Structure 1
Amino acid sequence: MVKTPVIQFGTSRFLQAHADLFLSEARPARGITVVQTSGDAARGRRLAALAAPGGYPVRIRGFWEGRAVDETRTVTSVKRGLSAASDWAQVVRVFVEEAEFVLSNTGDAGYQPRPGDAAQDYDPAMSFPAKLFHLLAARHAAGGAPLVVMPMELVVDNGRELKEAVLSVAALRGSDPALVSYIEDGVTWACSLVDRIVAAPLEPAGAVAEPYALWAIQTAPGVVAPAVHPAIEMVDDLAAIERLKLHILNLGHTVLVDIWQRRGGQGDPVVRAFIALPEVEEALAAIYREEVLPVFARLGQADAAERYMAVTLERFANPFLDHRLADIAQNHAQKIERRIGAFLDLAGATDGALRQPRLAAIAGRAA
């Protein structure tokens, strides 16, 4: 049996076209065990296809450095697929005996506590932090080998947030101080930011994605990248990159969903066609110019924000991608909170004289 130094929680098409692809192309190539954290039967079928011996395809479509790109790459990094519901003993074994890196992308509500988190025994209905607590407890009981946990959820300071969520589970359970110490100091919790538009799934596994890709990892003691790849960067100031991505690209996506829903939410529009409507383009441009860019200027990121906005609009208009607004609209309330609500908080803390009436209205509608 091939050993997998990476264990990944989540089977999303984003991960398929991002981390899984990078670790397939990286040097050294890294084997991955993918764990399905939900009980969704459709994702169960995907799980088997991800670990197929011949790999699965990722189609890259768009423009890169002035040229059109339309190519298919084969991902062979996924060596094993397991279900947290039906294969828990095997998940524990891999986590304890093989894992050096833990990746996760469990969705916008993935860190939220659930009623069963305090239960003594493992339950598949637990939150992801509670599942991770059980796995870390098993690893600690087996000797507590070092481990890098690298969440990929679009949460500010995601490593710190996940660590605090796991420690909250430990406190809820009145855990042994030695285990708590291991979670706090024996595990390295990395903060990272991921960026790539993954527009559509391929069946039974794979995805269609744009050429642009980034996996930025905050430098910190004990934090190392899982492999060397052009899209993987160790950075000294993750917060600056995070703000651009979360409050320009992701905020823009959520604004487009709000506009679509206020227009009745009819049909099944894709981003490139929707933003080509003059009134939609004007509405988004006004929010960027009048409500977003002034805040970045106060933060000393005026030029970077201007450039990132221009690149974002090009990515939205990618003629090769069918990025459905209905897909972006999933977990819309949580996305508004993280992308727009957090930006309003940032704006208020940066310069209270600046106003964001349109963004405030979107946040108000979700309240």
Structure 2
Amino acid sequence: MSNPTVIQFGTSRFLQAHADLFLSEAMPGARPVTVVQSSGDPQRAARLQALAEGYEVRIRGLRQGRPVEETCRVTSIERGLIFGPDLAEVQRLVAEEADMILSNTGDAGFGPQAADAGRCLDPAMSYPAKLAYLLRARFEQGGRAVQVLPTELLRGNGTALRDLVLAAAEGMDRDYRDWLRAEVVWVNSLVDRIVSEPLYPAGAIAEPYALWAIEAQPGLRRPCQHPAVQVVPDLGVIERRKLFVLNLGHSWMVAEWLARGRRDAEHVREVMADPDWAARLRTVFAEEVLPGFVAAGEGAGLEDYIETTLERFSNPFLDHRLADIAQNHAQKLERRIAAFLAWAEANGDGRAKPRLRAALQGEIG
């Protein structure tokens, strides 16, 4: 099978160290990606040129307990375009050449904009509204199937983007909207990699761990063959592992850190360097989290996932501040710990889980 033509919306350091890196490693010598920058930020415009020239991703962390420091050269990006000045070429590429449309548009990318009410394509529109107009041109030129792969951190991100594009296309003809539903492959995915620092003018520093989990569906085309890219029948198990192990572990640490008066550690790695603190976290995972997954029939492989998570927490190169994790702590406790306790109980796990309940109630210590 030939390499796909990928149109990418977003220039984030996450994509640079995630999807763009995977495509580069899977397709050496190929340059399948055209990156589209939506904003007029001059720093990002300079980044576009650097992306097309090739850039470095530095991998720093632990792998199976051993320190890793590697430098990868990413060469998957052929060129960069700016949505305003290069609009005609962006329209042509989406209409005629794209096999896959990839995005990571940030926290506000899917949010509505005032320009969405306009009757023609406008650079000030939200990403879903832009996509509604761009895909209409493709439909009008024969409607060859295309795959849309958002990587935004939103549950059911492909389904959510489809619904937003359909809403933006509400005033357009019915045949086009039917085509959006039936012929466009809207892909749900979950991405995971800590990309801690940017490099300039392009590139990033990232941890060794990486995952791009893609939910299987009819018509799906895997973006590339790469160890980090996994096609799975259901994202639910992976989502629960990330939420109820990785994220829960972070919030449990913060609960204890707050109970200590924000003393004894500043970063996650310092928690892991404290033998007593790290041992208590291991106990939480082994005695309170693992049984919940086992009761739900999702225990296979979880001990390995926990070990990988603990290794990620111990990354000596990563300055992951507890104060940053502590933002919106009450809401995170509800989504991570309270939700886990309810889920575990609903699946028949009747253990008391005193450490998690203490964290939830602010009585840890």
The TM-score with structure 2 as length reference comes to 0.81
- Cα gap change, 1:117 to 1:291, in 2 (>3 Å): farther
Query: Which residue in the other structure is 2:32 paired with?
Result: 31
SS at match of 1:51: helix
Distance of aligned partners of 1:311 and 1:164 in 2 relative to their CA distance in 1, 3 Å threshold? same
Partners of 1:186 and 1:262 lie apart in 2 by 53
1:17 aligns with 2:11: no
In the alignment, what sits opposite 1:150?
A: 149
1:304 deviation in Å? Answer: 3.5
Residue 206 in structure 1 maps to residue 203 in structure 2: yes
The count of corresponding residues between Structure 1 and Structure 2 is 352
Per the alignment, residue 342 of structure 2 pairs with: 348
Cα 1:84–1:246 shift into 2, 3 Å? farther
Moved more, 292-301 or 200-209: 292-301
Shift, 1:122, TM fit = 2.4
What SS is found at the alignment partner of 2:196? strand
- Contact 1:9 1:106 (8 Å CA) reproduced: yes
Deviates more, 1:215-224 or 1:306-315: 306-315
The verdict on how the C-alpha distance between 1:108 and 1:338 changes in structure 2, with shifts beyond 3 A counting, is farther
Between 203-212 and 27-36, the greater mean CA deviation after superposition = 27-36
Q: 1:254 to 1:346 in 2, by over 3 A?
A: closer
Report the Cα distance in structure 1 between the residues aligned to 2:48 and 2:4, rounded to whole angstroms. 16
Alignment of 1:74-93 (within 5 A): 74-93=73-92
SS in 2 for 1:146: coil
Report the alpha carbon displacement of residue 37 of structure 1 after superposing the two structures with TM: 3.0
Separation in structure 2 between the aligned mates of residue 165 and residue 78 of structure 1, nearest angstrom: 28
Q: Give yes or no for contact 1:247–1:340 (8 Å, CA) kept in 2.
A: no
Residue 179 of structure 1 is aligned with which of 176, 180, 186? Answer: 176
Deviates more, 1:268-277 or 1:195-204: 268-277
Give the aligned partner of residue 58 of structure 2.
59
Larger Rg: 2
Structure 2 contact 62–68 (Cα < 8 Å) conserved: yes
Output aligned runs, 1:1-367, within 5 Å.
5-27=5-27, 29-52=30-53, 55-65=54-64, 67-171=66-170, 174-253=171-250, 269-273=266-270, 275-276=272-273, 281=278, 288=285, 292-323=289-320, 341=335, 344-345=338-339, 347-348=341-342, 351=345, 357=357
1:73 deviates by: 1.0
Distance in 1 separating the partners of 2:126 and 2:252:
29
Distance 1:121 1:221, change over 3 A: same
- 1:69·1:211 contact (CA, 8 Å) conserved in 2? yes
Confirm or deny: 8 A CA contact 2:333 2:360 kept in the other structure. Answer: no
Cα distance per residue 1:88-128 (max 9 Å; x no partner): 32222221222101111122343233333232122333222
- Whole-angstrom distance in 1 between the partners of 2:64 and 2:128: 40
In structure 2, list runs of 5 or more residues that go unmatched: none
DSSP-derived class of the 1:351 partner: helix
Deviation at 1:42, TM superposition (A): 3.0
Q: Aligned partner of 2:342: which letter? A: G
One-letter identity of the residue aligned with 1:10: G
Identity of aligned residues (%): 51
Measure how far apart 1:206 and its partner are: 0.7
Residues 15 and 239 of structure 1, relative CA distance in 2, 3 Å threshold:
same
Q: Which amino acid aligns with 1:302?
A: G
Shift in CA distance, 112/289, structure 1 to aligned 2, threshold 3 Å: farther
Per-residue displacement from partner, 1:312-349 (whole Å, max 9, x unpaired)?
A: 111111123344567768xx65x986895277456535
SS at match of 1:58: strand
What is the alpha-carbon root mean square deviation over aligned residues?
A: 3.5
Q: What secondary structure does 2:169 align onto?
A: helix
How far apart, in 2, do the equivalents of 1:336 and 1:50 lie?
39
The AA in structure 2 aligned to 1:299 is A
User: Per-residue deviation at 1:40?
Assistant: 3.6
8 Å CA contact 1:155, 1:338 repeated in 2: no
The structural deviation recorded for 1:189 is 1.1
Question: Aligned partners of 2:287, 2:41: CA distance in 1, in Å?
Answer: 42
TM-score, length-scaled by structure 1 = 0.81
In structure 2, distance between residues paired with 1:161 and 1:195: 19
